[in-house]
Amino acid sequence: MVGTYVIAELRPDQIVQAYPLVQAAVPTLGMVAWRRMASDANRTDEILAVVHPRGYIQGLSIHRHWHHPTVGPLLDVIFLIVTSAADERGIAQTLFARIRSRAMKLKCKQIRFWNQNSGNWEQMHNGERFYRLDHGFMTFCGDEDP
């Protein structure tokens, strides 16, 4: 079902609907904290939602673009959440393609997918965590790997 989903920035009217996806990744996260972060107009994180044709949110990505002192322009994917009993692969492919496209548009050399654990919520605004290279999976985002 790749191509049948709509993927775009999370809209304000989708924040409540997206909460169960985020809470699955961060069980201790409360609705108030999620709303505060997701509705913050000044946040540096981008939140992408993958929406099924029937209107259900089935995927979510929280990522940030920044300049790493060692690797240069980097797209940091802090959370990548896919929920589907029928099409996990299609939703994941949709998210990966959009993330890669976004990284290329921003002229990032690499994309880092953080290891998935609930502690990322507390660490996602810790500057030291972003500078470290000992967590997550790094991949090149150009047309060809060097």
- Flag whether 1 is in a domain: no
- Flag whether 99 is in a domain: yes
pLDDT, the chain, mean: 85
* Contact predicate 23/34, CB 8 Å: yes
Token pair belonging to 27: 């069980």
**Confidence band for 6, pLDDT divided at 50, 70 and 90:** very high
- Flag whether 146 is in a domain: no
- Flag whether 145 is in a domain: no
CATH number at residue 118: 3.40.630.30
- Flag whether 15 is in a domain: yes
Report the SS3 class of residue 101.
Answer: helix
- Flag whether 45 is in a domain: yes
Count of domains forming the chain: 1
Pick the most confident of 11-15, 87-91, 138-142.
Answer: 11-15
**Confidence band for 144, pLDDT divided at 50, 70 and 90:** very low
CA neighbours closer than 13 Å in the CB half-sphere of residue 13? 3
pLDDT tens for residues 43-79?
888 999 999 888 999 999 999 898 888 889 999 998 8
pLDDT tens for residues 81-136?
998 878 889 899 989 999 999 999 999 989 998 887 767 767 666 667 677 777 77
Give the C-alpha separation, 135 to 115, whole Å. Answer: 6
Give the C-alpha separation, 143 to 122, whole Å. Answer: 34
Give the C-alpha separation, 117 to 119, whole Å. Answer: 5
Domain that holds residue 36: 6-140
pTM (2 d.p.): 0.85
**Confidence band for 14, pLDDT divided at 50, 70 and 90:** very high
